Amino acid sequence: MHISCSAEQKIFEIPSTGEGIIAGYWSSEQDLCSQPVRLQWKDGKVSSLEPLNHLEDYPEKALRWDSYFLMPGFSDAHVHLALDSLDFYQCLENWAQPLLIEDKVKRFLQRYLEMGIVAVRDGGDLPGFSWKAKNRVNEGVWSGPAVVSVHEAVNRAGMYGRFLGRGFKDLLEWREKESDFFRQGLDQLKVIVTGLIRFDDFQRVGPTQWMVEELSELVKSAHERGILVMAHASGEEGISAAIAAGVDSVEHGYYIRTKQLELMKEKNIAWVPTVAPIGNILKYPADRYSSQEIDTLKRILESQLSKIQEAYGLHVRLGIGTDAGAYRVPHAESLYDEFEWMVQAGIPRREVYGMATHENARILGRPELGRLEIGTPMNLLQLVNNLGKGLA
């Protein structure tokens, strides 16, 4: 078995039963412990966390992890394993070479674990690469984080999202194929509610694909099966439709309004604001965009950060998702970019880490994630550096 060590960007192989000395620990449910602790685990699960007061108390056979703090592994609530963050169109062409894509996906998964990310929620791809990755990890064939996969998204035929799902021309076609769609397997249902935002036209968003009545039926079909619904939505019209239909999370949510945030709080709908696809273009500049587009991106970034701060103040559920695979949003590393964007929005780092652990576990529908307690599997935890200073 293993434990992620993001402090060294490595994966440590460990025995199924053992012990180690750590510098302390933290989780969103517990206060920060900043003194040496004897960590014991049995059959791969934490069995004891006992503070030590004196150097001579250190067991001789314990692993010396005393430069590391222990905490729950992070989750990324929005990724696309089948995209490479470099060239979208070239990547889609490469989908015709499944072995090439699978090799890349395996490397991405390994990198997630090295960076302390023990779970990801994938937003889908038409060929099903992410669904295969989920199964390969579950079978122990591939090393990687837990993958929560939508398999493929539900979009309106001929509109945005053709690389994410087959597309349905109307609700009648959905009803005809609904049973088969769910039978193919999925962890969550992803619905494409709107198109993309424009980088050259502030507040312009691709058209809304489903009326509220249609979207409500899609949501109901998932909820009746106990499946959570994530909605790709930006702009006032699309976000309002997603909220009215009762989705479980709004993804991206650019140009969200105060009233919509208030409704999301009231309805317990989470927001995954994915700042990195916008912010990272500005953080890591290239010659790809015009001066007009850069100016628009700056306005979008400022607007999104302002609304994140507002959502935090309103106690709206906020998740941490990167849209990894998008241009300039590399797998694994970009989660740390997203942390910095959330901190820049005015959220304390301690709260950001809580979102990336405990809250993301709720959004992923995986309550065993984001915890550090007796009985937690060691492979769902990570070893980090300077946690005390980072949470000050």
Neighbours of 13 (CB within 10 A): 8
What does residue 102 show for φ and ψ, rounded to 5 degrees? -65, -35
Greater confidence, 239 or 57?
239
pLDDT for 60: 76
Residue 392 has pLDDT above 60, yes or no: no
Write the secondary structure of the chain as one string of H (helix), E (strand) and C (coil). CEEEECCCCEEEECCCCEEEEEEEEEECCEEEECCCEEEEEECCEEEEEEECCCHHHCCCCCEEEEEEEEEECEEEEEECCCCCCCCHHHHHHHCCCHHHHHHHHHHHHHHHHHCCEEEEEECCCCCCHHHHHHHHHHCCCCCCCEEEECCCCECECCCCCCCCCCCECCHHHHHHHHHHHHHCCCCCEEEECCCCECCCCCCCECCCCCCHHHHHHHHHHHHCCCCCEEEEECCHHHHHHHHHHCCCEEEECCCCCHHHHHHHHHHCCEEECCCHHHHHHHHCCCCCCCHHHHHHHHHHHHHHHHHHHHHHHCCCCECCCCCECECCCCCCHHHHHHHHHHHHCCCCHHHHHHHHHHHHHHHHCCCCCCCCCCCCEHHHEEEECCHHHHCC
| Out of 32-36, 75-79, 132-136, least confident range | 32-36
| Mean pLDDT value across the chain | 96
Mean local confidence (pLDDT), 353-377 = 98
Q: Which pLDDT does position 332 carry in this prediction? A: 98
Give per-residue pLDDT as tens, 208-225. 999 999 999 999 999 999
Catalogue all structural domains in the chain, each as residue range(s) with its CATH number.
2-73+371-390 (2.30.40), 74-364 (3.20.20.140)
Q: Which amino acid is at 113?
A: L
Q: Is the pLDDT of residue 228 over 80?
A: yes
What pLDDT digit, counting tens, does each position of 17-66 carry? 999 999 999 998 888 999 999 999 999 999 999 998 765 567 778 899 99
What confidence tier does 391 reach under pLDDT thresholds 50, 70, 90? low
In this prediction, residue 61 carries a pLDDT of 83
- Mind listing the pLDDT tens digit for each residue in 308-340? 999 999 999 999 999 999 999 999 999 999 999
Say what the pLDDT of residue 99 is: 98
Token readout for 287 is 């010659």
Cβ distance 352 to 337 under 8 Å?
no
The whole-number pLDDT of residue 29 equals 85
Calpha distance 340→358 (Å, rounded): 18
pLDDT per residue as tens digits for the range 146-164? 999 999 999 999 999 999 9
Q: How far apart are CA 277 and CA 286, in angstroms?
A: 14
Given this model, what pLDDT does residue 57 score? Answer: 66
Lowest mean pLDDT across 55-59, 162-166, 192-196, 248-252: 55-59
- Amino acid identity at 219: V
Write down the pLDDT at residue 390.
Answer: 58
Residues in Cβ contact with 16 at an 8 Å cutoff, skipping those fewer than 6 apart: 1, 42, 43, 44
Q: Note the pLDDT of residue 389.
A: 56
Residue 333: its pLDDT value, please? Answer: 98
- Is the pTM higher than 0.95? The answer reads yes
